[in-house]
Amino acid sequence: MATKTIMLNCAAGMSTSLLVKKMQEAAKAQGKDYEIFACPASEADDKLANQEINCVLLGPQVGYMKADFEKKLEGTGIPMGVIPMQDYGMMNGKKVLEFADSLMAE
C-alpha cells in the first residue's frame, strides 16, 4: 500500500501520463512508496470520492480551474497546487515530486 497518493489533473490525461512516469521514477529513486496517477479534470470528483488522495496537482493547461478545485477540496485538508509551467514543459518529474512533497509538508 502506497504511503502517499498524488493525483495529477489535466485536460485529457494524456500529456500528464509521461510526467507521472517521470515522477514515479523519481519517487522510486528516493525510496518513496507513492501512488501517482493522472486523470482528466472531469474525473477528479469521482477519484476524490472513491480514493484517499494526499495531494492534487493541476497541469498548467487547467490552471484556470484552480478556484474550482479549491472549492472541491475545501475542508478536506488535501493540498493542491498548479504545476509550474517550466517543470511541466521539461517533464521534470523530480522537481514536480519536490513540489508535491512541499505542498504535503505545509
Question: What are the tens digits of pLDDT across the range 8-46?
Answer: 999 886 778 999 999 999 999 999 999 999 999 999 999
Catalytic residues: 10
Cell of 102: 512541499
- Tell me the DSSP string of 18-80: HHHHHHHHHHHHTT--EEEEEEEGGGHHHHHHHS--SEEEE-GGGGGGHHHHHHHHTTT---E
What is residue 15's predicted lDDT score, i.e. its pLDDT? 76
Global pTM value:
0.95
Compute the distance between CA of residue 4 and CA of residue 32 in angstroms, rounded to an integer: 9
